Amino acid sequence: MGPGPPPLPAECFGPYDPREHILRAQEIDALRLSVTSREFFEPERLGSLDLINELALSFLERTFLRSRTVPAAAETLFPHRGESQHLDNFSYRHFTQPHADPIPNFDSASVCSRIQSFLASRDPSVVFGGEYIAGISGVMAYLLAEVVCAASNHASDVFRDYILPCDVRCVVISDQQLRDRLQFSKSFWEGRHRELPLAETRSESYVTEEEHFPTMANIDYEE
């Protein structure tokens, strides 16, 4: 049985202005090194970084604007936290204990600041507490490290020494737990719309050339 159909367009978020991106290249590299992952293929590196940020931002917008405090969010966001091998179990720990397992060279303070700014831009009436933002950062870093690790393994399975954007897409599609959390990104399914090219709006940590963003249009979905 193949993957199910994508979510409805109205359920998806993005694409985002790259100036809103939460993770700079150095933070994504820190996540990659924390799971001993392969490197991104340099000619497609910008596409991989953009895709990971699109997954992160759509996850933040869909998930964390619904709850305002750590206890309230922890109860509702991780219903399978009692299952030892479920992503909810690990996510719950990272959310409620965000400082327990720091990632080397991951600038958590800067990431938290960008998360705060992004959420405030979506709902200016709400002020999120510091521990709530730190918990969000912890969950996001954990999930994206899982994605990068799985993408590296997928590249290895097809005898490649580097990660492509298609590896990221394939592992999110094929892992139901990752898909349940990260599939609500328009760019994930459609690619980046060309009216917002990265080369014109990149953050300073990104390389300058535009990249081609493959879409998921060639995947067959089963109901």
**Is residue 207 in some structural domain?**
no
Q: What is the DSSP letter of 195?
A: T
Residue 118's nearest CA partner among 64, 183, 193 is: 64
Q: Could you give the C-alpha distances from 107 to 10, 147, 189, 207, in angstroms and in order? A: 33, 19, 29, 20
Enclosing domain of residue 136: 17-201
**Is residue 97 in some structural domain?**
yes
Instruction: Look up the CATH number of the domain holding residue 94.
Output: 1.10.20.10
**Is residue 124 in some structural domain?**
yes
**Is residue 94 in some structural domain?**
yes
**Is residue 188 in some structural domain?**
yes
Whole-structure pTM value: 0.84
Q: Specify the number of domains making up the chain.
A: 1
Strands (DSSP E) along 111-175, which ranges? 162-163
Q: What is the DSSP letter of 44?
A: G
**Is residue 7 in some structural domain?**
no
Which residues are registered as beta bridge partners of 40? Answer: 163
**Is residue 8 in some structural domain?**
no
Q: How many CA atoms lie within 13 A of 143 on its CB side?
A: 29
Per-residue pLDDT of the chain (223 residues; tens, 9 = 90+): 567 788 999 999 999 999 999 999 999 999 999 999 999 999 999 999 999 999 999 999 998 876 666 766 777 888 888 899 999 999 999 999 999 999 999 999 999 999 999 999 998 887 788 998 999 999 999 999 999 999 999 999 999 999 999 999 999 999 999 999 999 999 999 987 544 444 433 333 333 333 333 344 444 434 3
**Is residue 196 in some structural domain?**
yes
Q: Are 67 and 76 in contact (CB under 8 A)?
A: yes
